């Protein structure tokens, strides 16, 4: 396909060529019409001259005769009657008259002594006027007296004593004309080569530039038919083989045919037209060049710039602008394109925003589900963090107390993203927590087996997750764990290199129904740490595509300045950030560090379940609290709480014995008291709270003890395990 | 816990010292049961009472119900720990505490 520029140029060439043709043709036509008009005028003038000159000659002849007679008589006296006939014969005239100053015919052919009268003769009386002409002549015309055609002329006597009037009869006049007609126009040239042909009423040529043709018919001489020759108008004819402009008209009894060669008439046109055409050709060529240049500059360039801008936009640069302002149309086109691109960009951004909003919602759910109130204990320290990636994700961590001495902690990675992934993560997290809390043996493997069964039973999205779940026994430092396809954690030993915990329990959760996950264990010495993470750490990628990997992770942990969980997490995070150095984060990065500081201070005493147990247990608690430096108010509250629980157990449980365990902590300074009994299962926390607004007469007594515990204790929990009710409450002293 | 009883006309004042809990509240219950006949104003002096548990509350509620029928009852010199218990349990709404 031709470029716009080429197409426009072709059209321009056609336009310029047509314009040139029209202009040249118009000029040619104009020149032709002008030349025809000129030749017509020329022929008309010549016709007038030839017509006039033909009879003027007769007047001149007749006046000459009269003058000669007047001159002759003027010296010898008046015309004598006897001289008239001789004079007439001599001068070949029909009549002669001598008119005196009074206008009386003094002598002549007729009417001697009479006064000049009649319209025809009276005209000559003007010769008697002192200011009148010296001579006069009249055209031939019929006389009033006898109707004969005569032609008269008169000349004044030189001494002004009257005038001589002479007349030709019609025959004489016609004879003169015949003589005159012969060869009259033989040397009459129109321009250079034009000529006039005289033809008599018989169609015989009397005069021609070529007198050898005289006596031939007009037909023979020129090819024209005298009867068919148009008169008073310009016409073309070919005479003697040459195209001629012709004009014909009557002269007395003759026909004058004037001819001028067409070639001569158009000589000027034919000479100048090529030059004019050449000049026009130059002008139009210049015009073409100019317009073509303008097209290239203003149109082609603008179109090319718009094309370039559109290519950039099509290439994905929606921020690109088209800014061609060389004309109103291109400005408008630019504005329209920009408006379209803006609309496109807005739509694209809207889609990105929606996508982002979904991811953001997923992240919000994900983040909101993560606990941030890390356990405050001087026996265990835990820190965890999750940095979500932009798109892929689904990591979570969790930790919660199973009882006073067992802390569950876990890290998991769901194979999903956005809202769906987040909801699945919520489900999995809730299931894991509920199942672990419900497991009397605090067995992570058993819990995972149940969670897996539950997840497999209802998994339309076919998602799965890896998880590492541990349960720390605060008293022993033993960690029971189960690993469902998750990355191996590291144990940071005192004075040793980080140790990979590679034991696994089974495949990821929600993959295969009926998978049984085995519980494994590791032991921590006081001050040792377990470090959990997700594959976002080991699979963090730098710009060249290299992975962070397990070795870098182990090295980072080995050289960490401090074993504090928060510091460890920060060190790993910093190492990963340095490694990827700005490359986008592909997956969530989750870190969890748990340090076992050591076993808590424990005081345990058992009592037989009888009425003495209330006082005995109170004494044991008071003794323990006093030794721990407990202030009076919390001590009072703890004693009231113990009184409520133990009295209830003694009164209602049917237990054989009960155990009181007191755990003291220094940071924060507080105590946790657990009361265990082997009586009938009973959860006092499920008793509905009493209505404390009733008047005394309507008040049931009961439930007030638990109400007091709820209001005064910092933490309160019940669980049933190993055939015992275990109620535990905690008070922070400060 | 020790209970000091003072009867002046129809006013019985009981000064409690120690803890009014599950162990000791039966003692108070017993002390009241024998002494309230003809009493129109029962005063508990809690100046030396360390704390009370819900068992003590039950005794106080019982005493209040009885005194509503034959006169009035009030508690004096109540310490913060005990006052807190009355507040939590709603007893402060109907007990007269000075």
Digit-coded pLDDT (tens) for A387-431: 887 765 688 999 998 887 899 999 999 887 667 778 888 888 999
Nearest to A165 by CA among A98, A230, A212: A98
Is residue A519 within 8 A of residue A506, CB to CB? The reply is no
Mean pLDDT of A545-551: 90
pLDDT of residue A318: 74
- Pairwise CB contact (< 8 Å): A712 & B88: yes
Q: What is the rounded average pLDDT for all residues in chain A? A: 87
- Pairwise CB contact (< 8 Å): B65 & A695: no
Confidence category of residue A287, pLDDT binned at 50, 70, 90: confident
Is residue A642 within 8 A of residue A705, CB to CB? The reply is no
Cβ-Cβ pairs closer than 8 A, A with B, add up to 70
- Pairwise CB contact (< 8 Å): B85 & A640: yes
Q: How far apart are CA A592 and CA A536, in angstroms?
A: 13
Q: Is the pLDDT of residue A90 over 90?
A: no
Q: How far apart are CA A80 and CA A83, in angstroms?
A: 5
Q: Is the pLDDT of residue A490 over 60?
A: yes
- Nearest residue in chain A measured CA to CA from B52: A640
- Pairwise CB contact (< 8 Å): B80 & A633: yes
What is the DSSP annotation of A121-144? HHGGGGGGSTTS-SEEE---EE-T
ipTM: 0.88
- Beta bridge pairs of residue A60: none
- Pairwise CB contact (< 8 Å): A639 & B51: yes
On the CB side of A574, CA atoms within 13 Å amount to 10
- Pairwise CB contact (< 8 Å): A637 & B81: yes
pLDDT of residue A391: 66
pLDDT of residue A84: 84
- Beta bridge pairs of residue A676: A659, A726
CA angle A712, A714, A716 (to 5 degrees): 90
As given in the structure block, the two tokens for residue B71 are 């006169």
- Nearest residue in chain A measured CA to CA from B24: A615
- Pairwise CB contact (< 8 Å): B55 & A646: no
Domain B2-93 part of CATH 2.60.40.10: no
Q: What is the DSSP letter of A516?
A: -
pLDDT over 90, % of chain A: 28
Domains of chain A in start order, with CATH, are 39-173 (3.30.450.20), 182-265 (3.30.450.20), 371-596 (3.60.40.10), 601-732 (3.30.565.10)
- Pairwise CB contact (< 8 Å): B94 & A695: yes
Is residue A95 within 8 A of residue A166, CB to CB? The reply is yes
pLDDT of residue A392: 55
CA angle A32, A34, A40 (to 5 degrees): 100
Q: Is the pLDDT of residue A383 over 90?
A: yes
CA angle A679, A680, A684 (to 5 degrees): 100
- Beta bridge pairs of residue A675: A660, A727
**B53 touches A at CB < 8 Å:** yes
Q: Is the pLDDT of residue A319 over 80?
A: no
How many CB atoms are closer than 10 A to CB A534?
A: 26
pLDDT of residue A734: 75
Q: Which of A81-95, A101-115, A173-187, A431-445 has the highest mean pLDDT?
A: A431-445
Which of A633, A701, A712 has its CB closest to that of B58? Answer: A701
**A636 touches B at CB < 8 Å:** yes
pLDDT of residue A393: 65
Q: Is the pLDDT of residue A562 over 70?
A: yes
What is the DSSP annotation of A618-680? HHHHHHHHHHTT--HHHHHHHHHHHHHHHHHHHHHT--SEEEEEEEEEETTEEEEEEEEE-SS
- Nearest residue in chain A measured CA to CA from B79: A633
Is residue A704 within 8 A of residue B61, CB to CB? The reply is no
Q: How far apart are CA A712 and CA A732, in angstroms?
A: 10
**B27 touches A at CB < 8 Å:** no
pLDDT of residue A85: 85
- Nearest residue in chain B measured CA to CA from A697: B65
Q: Is the pLDDT of residue A75 over 70?
A: no
**B92 touches A at CB < 8 Å:** no
Burial of A732 (0-12, 13-18, 19+ CB in 10 A): middle
pLDDT of residue A554: 92
Q: Say which range, A76-85, A247-256, A282-291, A373-382, has the weakest mean pLDDT.
A: A76-85
pLDDT of residue A77: 62
pLDDT over 70, % of chain A: 98
**A700 touches B at CB < 8 Å:** no
Q: Is the pLDDT of residue A667 over 70?
A: no
Which of B51, B80, B89 has its CB closest to that of A707? Answer: B89
Is residue A524 within 8 A of residue A477, CB to CB? The reply is yes
- Pairwise CB contact (< 8 Å): A711 & B51: no
Check whether the bond before A668 is cis (ω within 30° of 0): yes
pLDDT tens-place string over residues B39-73: 899 999 999 998 888 888 989 988 988 898 889 99
Identify each DSSP E strand in A170-313 by its residue range: 195-199, 205-207, 234-239, 242-251, 254-261
The domain limits of chain B are 2-93
């Amino acid at each position: 396909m031709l470029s716009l520029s080429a197409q426009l140029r072709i059209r321009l060439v056609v336009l310029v060529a047509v314009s040139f043709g029209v202009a040249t043709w118009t000029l040619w036509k104009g020149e032709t019409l002008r030349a025809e008009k000129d030749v017509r005028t020329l022929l008309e003038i010549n016709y007038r001259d030839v017509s006039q000159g033909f009879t003027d000659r007769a007047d001149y002849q007749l006046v000459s005769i009269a003058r000669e007679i007047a001159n002759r008589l003027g010296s010898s006296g008046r015309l004598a009657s006897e001289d008239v006939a001789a004079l007439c014969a001599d001068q070949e005239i029909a009549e002669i008259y001598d008119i005196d100053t009074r206008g009386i015919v003094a002598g002549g052919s007729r009417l001697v002594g009479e006064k000049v009268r009649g319209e025809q003769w009276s005209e000559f009386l003007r010769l008697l006027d002192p200011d009148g002409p010296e001579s006069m002549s009249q055209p031939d015309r019929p006389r009033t007296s006898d109707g004969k055609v005569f032609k008269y002329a008169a000349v004044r006597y030189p001494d002004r004593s009257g005038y001589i009037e002479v007349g030709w009869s019609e025959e004489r006049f016609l004879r003169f004309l015949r003589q005159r007609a012969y060869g009259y126009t033989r040397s009459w040239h129109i321009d250079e080569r034009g000529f006039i042909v005289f033809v008599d009423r018989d169609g015989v040529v009397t005069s021609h530039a070529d007198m050898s043709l005289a006596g031939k018919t007009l037909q023979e001489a020129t090819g024209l038919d005298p009867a068919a020759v148009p008169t008073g108008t310009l016409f073309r004819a070919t005479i003697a083989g040459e195209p001629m402009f012709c004009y014909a008209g009557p002269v007395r009894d003759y026909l004058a045919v004037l001819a001028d060669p067409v070639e001569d008439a158009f000589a000027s046109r034919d000479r100048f037209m090529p030059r004019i055409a050449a000049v026009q050709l130059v002008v139009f060529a210049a015009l073409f060049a100019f317009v073509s240049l303008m097209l290239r500059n203003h149109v082609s360039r603008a179109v090319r710039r718009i094309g370039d801008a559109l290519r950039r936009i099509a290439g994905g640069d929606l921020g690109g602008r088209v800014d061609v302002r060389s004309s109103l149309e291109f400005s408008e086109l630019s504005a329209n394109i920009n408006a379209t691109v803006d609309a496109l960009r807005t739509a694209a951004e809207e889609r990105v925003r929606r996508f982002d909003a979904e991811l953001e919602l997923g992240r919000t759910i994900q983040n909101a589900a993560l606990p941030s109130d890390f356990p405050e204990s001087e026996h265990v320290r835990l820190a965890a963090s999750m940095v979500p990636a932009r798109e892929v994700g689904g990591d979570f961590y969790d930790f919660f107390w199973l009882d006073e001495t067992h802390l569950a902690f876990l890290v998991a990675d769901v194979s999903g993203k956005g809202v769906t992934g987040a909801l699945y993560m919520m489900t999995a997290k809730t299931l894991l927590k509920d199942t672990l809390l419900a497991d009397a043996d605090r067995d992570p493997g058993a819990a995972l087996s149940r969670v897996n069964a539950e997840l497999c039973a209802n998994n339309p999205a076919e998602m799965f997750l890896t998880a590492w779940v541990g349960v720390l026994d605060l008293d022993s430092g033993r960690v029971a764990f189960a690993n469902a396809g998750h990355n191996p954690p590291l144990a940071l030993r005192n004075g040793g290199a980080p140790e990979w915990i590679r034991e696994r329990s089974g495949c990821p959760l929600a993959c295969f129904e009926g998978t049984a996950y085995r519980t494994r264990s590791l032991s921590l010495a006081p001050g040792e740490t377990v470090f959990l993470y997700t594959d976002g750490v080991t699979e963090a990628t730098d710009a060249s595509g290299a992975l962070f990997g397990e070795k870098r992770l182990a090295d980072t942990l080995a050289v960490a300045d401090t074993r504090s969980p928060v510091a460890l997490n920060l060190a790993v995070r910093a190492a990963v950030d340095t490694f990827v150095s700005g490359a986008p984060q592909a997956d969530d990065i989750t870190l969890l560090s748990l340090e076992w500081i050591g076993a808590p201070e424990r005081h345990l005493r058992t009592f037989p379940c009888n009425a003495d147990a209330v006082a005995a247990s109170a004494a044991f608690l008071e003794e323990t609290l006093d030794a721990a430096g407990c202030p009076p108010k919390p001590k009072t509250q703890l004693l009231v709480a113990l009184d409520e629980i133990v009295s209830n157990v003694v009164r209602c449980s049917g237990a054989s014995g009960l155990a009181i365990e007191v755990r003291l902590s220094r940071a924060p300074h507080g105590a946790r008291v657990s009361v265990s009994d082997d009586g009938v299962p009973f959860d006092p926390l499920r008793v509905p709270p009493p209505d404390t607004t009733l008047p005394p007469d309507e008040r049931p007594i009961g439930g007030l003890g638990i109400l007091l515990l709820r209001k005064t204790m910092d933490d309160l929990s019940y669980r049933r395990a190993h055939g015992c009710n275990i109620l535990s409450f905690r008070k922070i002293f400060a | 816990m020790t209970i000091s009883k003072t009867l002046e006309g129809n006013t019985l004042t009981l000064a409690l010292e120690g803890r009014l809990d599950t162990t000791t509240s039966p003692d108070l219950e017993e002390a009241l049961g024998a002494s309230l006949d003809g009493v129109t104003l029962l005063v508990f002096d809690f100046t030396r009472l360390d704390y009370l548990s819900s068992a003590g509350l039950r005794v106080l509620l019982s005493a209040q119900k009885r005194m509503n029928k034959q006169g009035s009852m009030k508690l004096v010199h109540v310490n913060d720990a005990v006052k807190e218990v009355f507040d939590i349990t709603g007893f402060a709404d109907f007990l007269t505490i000075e």
